[in-house]
Amino acid sequence: MDGKTPPPHLFVILGGTGDLAARKLLPALHDLDAKDLLDGSFRILAVARNPDLDDGAYRRWARDALARAGRRDPETFCSRRLHYACVTGGPAEAFARLAARIGEIEREASLPGHRIFYLALPPGAFGPTIGNLAAAGLTGGPGSVRFVIEKPFGRDLESAVALNREIHDWLDEEQVFRIDHYLGKETVRNLMVFRFGNTIFEDLWNRDRIRCVEITVAESLGVGDRAAFYERTGAIRDIVQNHLTQLLTLTAMEVPAAFDARSVRHEKLKVLQSIAPLSPDDVVFGRYGPGEGGPGYLEEPDVAPDSVTETYFAARVDIDTWRWQGVPFYLRTGTRLS
């Protein structure tokens, strides 16, 4: 953000009671509010399938989530900004009720119709959810309507292309933002500043001075209540093909022609195109077992007893460019790691 307060919006979190909302989205929105970067009329509508929640119950749930995330005194934020809507029953009926709820909130808060739909959902729900929103008349409106789609975007190239086509059945490309929330981490955001804002490093950032590069994304917790999601993704789709790959490209890319989205993307893509093919000897798969941290993966709720889902992955990657030729990149990620 450029420090200017954006116009008032309704921020709709589809999957508003999930892990992503509790650990990432609500704390981030709380912090924006604490820094006076949200308009006074800005509202947040959490959408989920829990019929036992209403505005008051959801606000209590959100306060607990924000306290666990280390936010102090979230009462004002929750009571002022947060609302809840339940989508149960047939899609037509459920999303018609959602449309009515959105209209009610916008009228009460005098919002102009600017909406952001954040799809904090399993990948298989992206297309059907957007279709249901379109059928309810929610993909357009009196103001701007944007859709934020979380990773992973498909399971492979074929499914990603199919998902893209399905999304374009309902939305213009300008409405769609495919994001990786990991890029919002302060350390990640500082990588380009660290590299390109300190000229002393340019002479050192190459094969003549660096023996190898290690990038590790370690989580101390197990999958916990995310097992139903994790069974469909595993470590590779959860971390490697998005978070770790972004870190790899930020570390290995050349100086972009300009620090805008198109130029940075171009340099990242060049890194990906320079990765040498991997062989089976270049990769390691693993899974955590029982120990001091708790039960093993196979003992977690909602995990199939014969599951072969990986919770640990490591790889050696070689980048065939002048800067990195002969310098191995070691990528690692895993849950329940020290």
d(CA 101, CA 14): 14
Q: Please, which residues have CB within 8 angstroms of residue 14's CB and are 6 or more apart in sequence? A: 47, 117, 118, 119, 120, 121, 129
Question: What is the residue type of 84?
Answer: Y
- Tokens coding 176: 């769609």
d(CA 194, CA 187): 10
Residue 283 pairs in a beta bridge with: 315
Alpha helices in 144-223, H assignment, sequence order: 157-168, 186-196
Phi, psi of 84 (to 5 degrees): -135, 145
Give the three-class secondary structure for 37.
Answer: coil
Q: Which residues are catalytic?
A: 243
